[in-house]
Structure formats: structure tokens, C-alpha cells
Amino acid sequence: MARDILKTLKTEHDAVRDLFEEIKSTTDRAKKSRAELLEKIEASLLPHAKWEEQVFYPEFKKRADRDGLQTHAEAVEEHRAVEQTVMPDVHAADVETPEFAGRVKVFAEMIDHHAKEEEKTMFKMARELFTAEERAQLDEDYEGWKQSGAGAAAVSAAKAKTGVKGVAKSLAG
């Protein structure tokens, strides 16, 4: 079967959904597994999100019509909300608390909503806007990017941002 970036991105959404199901089923006492699962979630989410932002979304935007531009803006805004608010707030909570569990639940809901919108709207449009050859090429490029210095740099910059103490903790102060 030919490679297809849209299939790869969808598979990654499903993998992250599974990890969220796992972390949501942990108890407040499961300090170690919560921390490990959060790390796994971020390890799969951050490269995905950064590559979408740096490569896929701009390529999509170039080809989009009015509705596509709105879909693009919506996706970018959701990434921003997760990176600037939701993830820092998750990090600001101690893993063995109900606050952590509540914030992780919001994190999971936002990601599931966002992934659904991509799958049902943006990827559907992209299937028309990109040829099969372009989708295969993007898939190869993505694989290479993940292993490249540029990919690693993008992920560590995102980690630095999302790992800082969030708004919620400073308010609770």
C-alpha cells in the first residue's frame, strides 16, 4: 500500500487516544505510571503537532479555499490553547492529585476534539487538495524530519514551553 501522510497522522491520533485512556484510568496513587504515561503522550504528541504546524498546516493553507482557511485557523488556535494553557497547567499539578487527573481529562478532551476535527474536516479537504504522490512524499518527509536535528530542536523548544508552571498554579499560588 502506498504511503499516505493522512493515514500516518490518523494512526498517531489513535495511539495518543489509547495513551489518554490509560492515563485516565490511573488512580491518584499511581504516581510513577502517571508520570511515565504523560511522558509517552508528549513524546508522541509534540513531534506530531510541531510538524503539522511547521509543514503540513502551511502547505494546507496555501491550497485552501475560504472554508479551508477557517479550518486552518481553528486548528492553529487549538494547538495554541493546548500548548500555552492546557499543557503548562497539567505540568503545574502534582501527579498524585485530583487536580492532575482533572487537567489531564481536559487535555484528553481537547486532543480528541481537535483530532476529530482534523480527521473529519481538514484531512478530508486535504485528500482533495494533495495528490496521492504528494501525500506519499509528505509521509517520507515527516519520517525524515522526526529523525532530524530540526525535528529534535522543535520538540525540545515545545517541551521547554509546555513544561513551565502554568497559569493555574500561579493563581493558586
Which positions touch Fe ion (CB under 5 A)?
Answer: 52, 118
Total number of residues shown for the chain: 173
At its nearest, how many Å lie between Fe ion and the CB of residue 71?
11
**Distance in angstroms (rounded) separating the CA atoms of residues 137 and 5:** 8
Using the minimum distance from each CB to Fe ion, give the nearer residue, 93 or 154: 154
Burial label for 143, CB within 10 Å (0-12, 13-18, 19+), is: middle
At its nearest, how many Å lie between Fe ion and the CB of residue 114?
6
At its nearest, how many Å lie between Fe ion and the CB of residue 48?
6
Alpha helices in 52-97 (DSSP H): 57-63, 66-81, 87-92
* Helix, strand, or coil (residue 20): helix
Using the minimum distance from each CB to Fe ion, give the nearer residue, 13 or 34: 13
Tell me if 24 sits within 8 A of 111, measured CB to CB. Answer: no
At its nearest, how many Å lie between Fe ion and the CB of residue 2?
20
